């Protein structure tokens, strides 16, 4: 190209490289002058310095909260409402390879740590790693240890298909569990099992992982909760009264949105049938990287934002109740990404805040979904999908 | 000279295209690169530094005595030499059934067959199906395109699809894109969604200028992908454009749309 047009991130890296180069060969007096000038510029712009300069190495496991061990039984019943936060879909590579995604999840951790009061817990929504490598999962664990609130972990397909969950489970425990919290029954599912497509194709573990990591290939199978886990869910709910509010976390949406991209759970209808007897059910899922909500019978569904990148809305199948988020600005790394909070009301239904970075947050109330769109419609986007 | 040669090439194309296209498939498939530059042929050197002209089969050549590079040839002389070239080609291919397109005007054998769906499309049969008997009379015949047949369309479609597939591979490969951070196009654009190639050229506010699709591809390669920008005729750029456009088949063009 004739002219060089650079993104904020590229310019930032170049500026940083320049500063570091200058620092490498300057005396003390020059160093002080550069420091003063830098601080002056920062103050003049009213900016805090960007996150990357403050990348915090989290201290060792001994002082950090235990991740994935849960706190089942700590919650007394009948203490609604309460708030929980989420961070999801960080898709981490090794830090040395990719700083961009590291910077994004650290930003989310900072966001959540800044909440006052602190949420009761933080749900991590899956896809901590990009390609399931132990080093990627360990890096993610280290970053999440920086959270002040207790963390509940959920697994995504990017965490799973290199070693079929071995490393993830070693770090975070079983992928399927439930607990009661302040009168709400909370279930975390592993919704991204896939029928074996790799053995017949003689794929290596890496090839299997790479295939699942792509959305738009027809090679992989569809996500499913599976017979065994559905049986577990039935048993788990058997002791829960129909009046108890239920919150289900799943990585994939527990309904059928768009099959080609696995915005989809093959046995979603069967799972929904298990949840049918309960009056107030909220499903919160990752994977789709966009503002996404739906209501099917008694079940309200909310998608989570990704910290790493937003996904376009699928060409078909978008739930009617979903109000699209504005198109993301590709020139802004953080646009269309973010994290979020959810608050259970006294009735046990869940309002959700989409904390979209660099934009106004969008609140989607349970009343909007439960009235099938009659009240409390969220603000419309200025620019929907092409 | 140019005029004469063009005409000759056009007439010969109908018969030779199929054979040469097959050759291209064979050679390119071996190399695994469909998006390479067009095939070029080596001309034999003239001892006296004369111009050597080659026919479109890529092998038949004739030297033009006394004509040096940069010099013009008289029209009559050009006709004579191109006829000679044609005759040489026919001598080398005695079994090849040679159809002089103009002579066949009105013949049913010249009616173009319908190409397969998707990919490269041939000329429309305006007479419609079932009107074959009257096609010969109603539609214009005898021009270059009318002499192509189903086999040609199949070859063209295979070539086009292979080119798009090359783009598909690049689009999905951080390595092929030269990403230094493991990022490929499909991570944000499954099936090239939200690339909206039909809206270019348009004023791209962030770039402060009018952008083409390739400018945005390069912007993405340089910034989120953290690679090195591609020149417009880089085989990867050409293939990426092909793939992205192919994903929006049927969407109306809407340049300048925001």
Q: Which three-class secondary structure string do you get for chain A? A: CCCCCCCHHHHHHHHHHHHHHHHHCCCHHHHHHHHHHHHHHHHHHCCCCCHHHHCCCCCCCCCCCCCCCCCCCCCCCCCCCCEEEEECCCCECCCCCCHHHHHHHHHHHHHHHCCCCCCCEEEECCCCECCCCHHHHHHHHHHHCCCCCCEEECCCHHHHCCCCCHHHHHHHCCCCEEEEECCEEEEECCCCEECCCCCCCCCCHHHHHHHHHCCCCCCCCCEECCHHHHHHHHHHHHCCCCCCCEEEEECCCCCCCEHHHCECCCCHHHHHHHHCCCCCEEEEECCCCCCCEEEECCEEEEECCCCCCCCCCCCCCCCCCCCCCCCCCCCCCCCCCEEEEEEECCCCCEEEEEEECCCCCEEECHHHHHCCCCCCCCCCCCCCCC
Q: Does B187 touch chain A (CB under 8 A)?
A: yes
Which pairing describes strands A362-364 and B61-64: parallel, antiparallel, or unpaired? unpaired
For residue A32, what pLDDT is reported? 64
**Beta carbons of B222 and A10 less than 8 Å apart:** yes
Enumerate the residues of chain A whose CB falls inside 8 A of the CB of residue B218: 1
**pLDDT band at residue B145, thresholds of 50, 70 and 90?**
confident
Token pair in block for residue A51? 């996150």
CA distance A354 to A143: 22
CB-CB: which of A216, A329, A385 is closest to B186? Answer: A216
Cβ count near A260 (within 10 Å)? 16
Q: Which residue from A250, A312, A246 is spatially nearest to A276, judged by alpha carbons?
A: A246
Residue B128 pLDDT greater than 60, yes or no = no
B253 vs A4, A225, B196, B248, B257, CA distance in Å? 28, 42, 10, 10, 9
**Under an 8 A CB cutoff, do A386 and B207 touch?**
no
- Indicate yes or no: CB of B258 within 8 angstroms of CB of A315: no
A311 has a chain B CB within 8 A of its CB:
yes
Which of A5, A383, A385 has its CB closest to that of B207? A5
Query: Tens-of-pLDDT digits for all 386 residues of chain A?
Result: 444 566 667 777 777 777 777 777 777 666 666 666 655 555 555 444 333 332 222 222 333 334 544 444 344 445 678 999 999 999 999 999 999 999 999 999 999 999 999 999 999 999 999 999 999 999 999 999 999 999 999 999 999 999 999 999 999 999 999 999 999 999 999 999 999 999 999 999 999 999 999 999 889 999 999 999 999 999 999 999 999 999 999 999 999 999 999 999 999 999 999 999 999 999 999 999 999 999 999 999 999 999 999 999 999 999 999 999 999 999 999 999 999 999 998 888 999 999 999 899 999 999 999 999 999 999 999 988 88
- Diameter of chain A by CA atoms? 73
Q: Which of A36, A55, A47, A40 is nearest to A8 (CA)?
A: A47
Mutate to test the interface with B, among A1, A93, A328 (most CBs of B within 10 A): A1
Cβ atoms of A52 and A16 within 8 Å: the answer is yes
Q: Cβ contact (<8 Å) for B258 and A383?
A: yes
Cβ separation A331–B220 shorter than 8 A: no
CB < 8 Å to A333, chain B = 224
Rounded-to-10 torsion of CA B2, B6, B7, B12: 140
B139 contacts: CB under 8 Å, gap ≥ 6 = B111, B125, B126, B127, B146
pLDDT for res B217: 97
C-alpha distance from residue A359 to each of A289, A354, B94 (Å): 16, 10, 74
> What is the C-alpha radius of gyration for chain A, rounded to an integer number of angstroms?
22
Q: Which residues contact B197 (CB under 8 A, 6 or more apart)?
A: B213, B241, B244, B245, B248
Across the interface, whether the CB atoms of B215 and A1 are under 8 A apart is answered yes
Tokens of A299: 């079940």
Q: Is the pLDDT of residue B163 over 70?
A: yes
pLDDT at A24: 73
Give the mean model confidence (pLDDT) for residues B105-125. 46
If you average pLDDT over residues B211-237, what whole number do you get?
A: 96
Chain A neighbors of B206, CB-CB under 8 A: 5, 329, 331
Entry pTM? 0.72
With cut-offs at 50, 70 and 90, classify the pLDDT of residue B182.
very high
CA–CA distance, B24 with B190 (Å, rounded to integer):
31
Query: With contact defined as beta carbons under 8 Å apart, do A101 and A63 qualify?
Result: no
Q: Which residues of A, range 175-214, sit inside 8 Å of B by Cβ?
A: 214
User: Chain A contact for B199, CB < 8 A?
Assistant: yes
Cβ of A93 within 8 Å of Cβ of B182? The answer is yes
* Contacts of B175 by beta carbon, 8 Å cutoff, 6+ apart: none
| pLDDT for residue B38 | 67
Cβ atoms of B255 and B200 within 8 Å: the answer is yes
pLDDT of B113 higher than 70: no
Q: How confident is the model at residue B45 (pLDDT cuts 50, 70, 90)?
A: confident
| Residue owning tokens 């830090």 | A95
Find the CB nearest B218 among A1, A100, A260: A1
DSSP H or E stretch at residue B82: helix B75-92
Chain B nearest C-alpha distance from A216 (Å): 5
Q: Residues 6 or more apart from A365 whose CB is under 8 A from it?
A: A351, A376
Collapse the DSSP code of B110 into the 3-class scheme (helix H, G, I; strand E, B; otherwise coil) and give the result. Answer: helix
Minimal Cα–Cα distance from B124 to chain A, Å?
A: 30
In A, which residues are within 8 Å of B224 by CB distance?
7, 9, 100, 309, 330, 333
Taking contacts as CB-CB distances below 8 angstroms, the residues of chain A near B193 are 312, 314-315
**A135 token code pair:** 């080093």
Inter-chain CB proximity A329 and B191 less than 8 Å: no
Calpha distance B97→A227 (Å, rounded): 66
* Nearest by Cα to A358 from A333, A376, A385: A333
Residue B205: strand, helix, or coil? coil
Please answer yes or no on whether B190 and A312 come within 8 Å at the CB atom: yes
The predicted complex's ipTM stands at 0.80
How close, in Å, is residue B178 to chain A by CA atoms? 13
What pLDDT is stored for residue B41 in this prediction? 73
Task: Name the residue of chain A whose CA is nearest to B220's CA.
Answer: A330
Average pLDDT over residues B99-126: 48
pLDDT of residue A336: 95
Whether the CB of B234 is below 8 Å from some CB of chain A: the reply is no
- How many Å lie between the alpha carbon of B140 and the closest alpha carbon of chain A? 41
Q: Which of residues 119-178 of B touch A (CB under 8 A)?
A: 172
Contact A104/B at CB under 8 A: no
CA distance A331 to A225: 37
**Count of alpha carbons within 13 angstroms of residue A248, beta-carbon side:** 29
Verify whether the Cβ–Cβ distance B181 to A333 is below 8 Å.
no
What is the structure's pLDDT at A322? 97
Contact (CB<8Å) B224/A383: no
Q: What is the mean pLDDT of chain B?
A: 77
Q: Are A222 and A264 in contact (CB under 8 A)?
A: yes
A310 touches chain B (CB under 8 A): yes
């Amino acid at each position: 190209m004739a002219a060089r047009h650079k993104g904020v991130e590229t310019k930032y890296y170049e500026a940083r490289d320049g500063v570091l180069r200058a620092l490498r060969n300057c005396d003390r007096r020059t160093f002080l002058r550069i420091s003063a000038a830098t601080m002056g510029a920062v103050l003049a712009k009213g900016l805090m310095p960007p996150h990357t300069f403050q990348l915090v190495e989290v201290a060792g496991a001994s002082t950090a909260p235990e991740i994935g061990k849960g706190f089942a039984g700590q919650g007394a019943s009948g203490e609604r409402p309460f708030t929980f936060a989420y961070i999801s879909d960080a898709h981490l590579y090794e830090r040395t390879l990719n700083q961009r995604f590291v910077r994004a999840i650290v930003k989310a951790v900072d966001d959540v740590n800044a909440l006052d009061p602190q949420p009761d817990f933080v749900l991590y929504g899956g896809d901590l790693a990009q390609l399931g490598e132990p080093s990627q999962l360990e890096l993610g664990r280290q970053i999440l240890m920086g959270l002040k609130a207790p963390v509940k972990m959920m697994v995504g397909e990017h965490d799973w298909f290199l070693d079929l969950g071995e490393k993830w489970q070693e770090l975070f425990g079983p992928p399927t569990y439930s607990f009661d919290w302040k009168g709400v029954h909370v279930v975390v599912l592993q919704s991204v099992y896939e029928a074996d497509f790799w053995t017949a194709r003689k794929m290596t573990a890496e090839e299997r992982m790479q295939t699942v990591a792509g959305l738009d290939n027809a090679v992989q199978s569809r996500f499913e909760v599976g017979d065994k886990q559905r049986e577990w869910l039935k048993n788990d709910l058997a002791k829960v009264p129909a009046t108890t509010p239920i919150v289900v976390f799943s990585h994939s949406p527990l309904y059928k949105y768009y099959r080609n991209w696995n915005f989809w759970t093959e046995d979603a209808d069967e799972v929904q049938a298990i949840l049918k007897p309960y009056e107030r059910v909220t499903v919160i899922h990752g994977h789709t990287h966009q503002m996404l909500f739906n209501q099917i019978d008694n079940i309200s569904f909310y998608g989570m934002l990704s910290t790493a990148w937003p996904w376009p809305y699928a060409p078909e199948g978008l739930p009617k109740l979903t109000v699209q988020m504005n198109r993301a600005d590709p020139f802004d790394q953080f646009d269309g990404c973010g994290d979020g909070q959810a608050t259970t009301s006294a009735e046990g239904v869940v309002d959700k805040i989409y904390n979209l970075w660099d934009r106004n947050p969008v609140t989607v109330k349970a009343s909007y979904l439960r009235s099938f769109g009659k009240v409390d419609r969220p603000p419309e986007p200025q620019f929907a999908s092409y | 000279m140019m005029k004469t040669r063009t005409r000759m090439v056009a007439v010969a194309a109908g018969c030779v295209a199929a054979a040469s296209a097959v050759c291209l498939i064979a050679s390119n498939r071996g190399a695994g690169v469909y998006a390479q530059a067009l095939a070029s042929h080596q001309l034999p050197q003239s001892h006296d530094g004369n111009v050597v002209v080659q026919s479109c089969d890529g092998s038949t050549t004739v030297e033009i005595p006394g004509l040096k590079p940069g010099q013009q040839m008289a029209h009559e002389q050009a006709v004579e030499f191109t006829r000679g070239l044609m005759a040489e080609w026919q001598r080398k291919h005695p079994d090849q059934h040679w159809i002089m397109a103009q002579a066949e005007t009105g013949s049913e054998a010249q009616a173009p067959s319908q190409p397969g769906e998707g990919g490269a499309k041939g000329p429309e049969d305006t007479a419609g199906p079932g009107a074959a008997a009257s096609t010969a009379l109603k539609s214009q015949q005898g021009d270059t395109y009318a002499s192509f047949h189903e086999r040609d369309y199949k070859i063209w479609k295979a070539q086009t699809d292979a080119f798009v597939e090359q783009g598909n591979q690049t689009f999905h490969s951080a390595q092929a894109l030269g990403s230094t951070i493991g990022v490929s196009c499909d991570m944000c654009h499954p099936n090239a969604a939200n690339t909206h190639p039909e809206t270019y050229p348009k004023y791209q506010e962030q770039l402060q200028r009018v952008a083409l699709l390739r400018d945005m591809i390069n912007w993405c390669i340089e910034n989120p992908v953290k690679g090195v920008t591609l020149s417009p005729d880089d085989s990867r750029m050409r293939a990426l454009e092909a793939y992205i456009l192919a994903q929006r088949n049927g969407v109306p063009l809407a340049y300048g749309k925001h």
